[in-house]
Amino acid sequence: MLLRDFITENNLTLDQFAALIDSTAATVSRIARGLHKPDTKTMEAILKATAGAVTPNDFFGIDTGRPGNDSTPEAAA
């Protein structure tokens, strides 16, 4: 799941989500818009705050064969 979708679906503001992961709204905004990839510490916090709904792979779009993953090998070529 994309971070921006998680935030929207859970009716969170950027400030609220930032507080959950001990970050800033500006950083969350950049990550959610795909302008910045989270570092390891931030990714661990995102994983925990989303109860696993947003995973490290969601930032790279690698097809894992999980249901709901729209990435395909053809799209990566």
Residue 41 lies in domain: 1-52
- Give the number of domains in the chain: 1
User: Is residue 15 assigned to a domain?
Assistant: yes
pLDDT at residue number 62: 77
CB 61 within 8 A of CB 71: yes
pLDDT at residue number 43: 97
For CA atoms 57, 58, 61, 64, the dihedral sign is positive
User: Is residue 66 assigned to a domain?
Assistant: no
Task: List, as one string, the DSSP characters of 10-52.
Answer: TT--HHHHHHHTT--HHHHHHHHTTSS---HHHHHHHHHHTTT
CA 30 to CA 68: how far, in whole Å? 24
pLDDT at residue number 65: 73
What is the average pLDDT across 25-31?
Answer: 97
User: Is residue 63 assigned to a domain?
Assistant: no
User: Is residue 75 assigned to a domain?
Assistant: no
> If pLDDT is split at 50, 70 and 90, which confidence band does 69 have?
low
* Residue 38: CATH number of its domain: 1.10.260
61/73: higher pLDDT:
61
pLDDT at residue number 71: 46
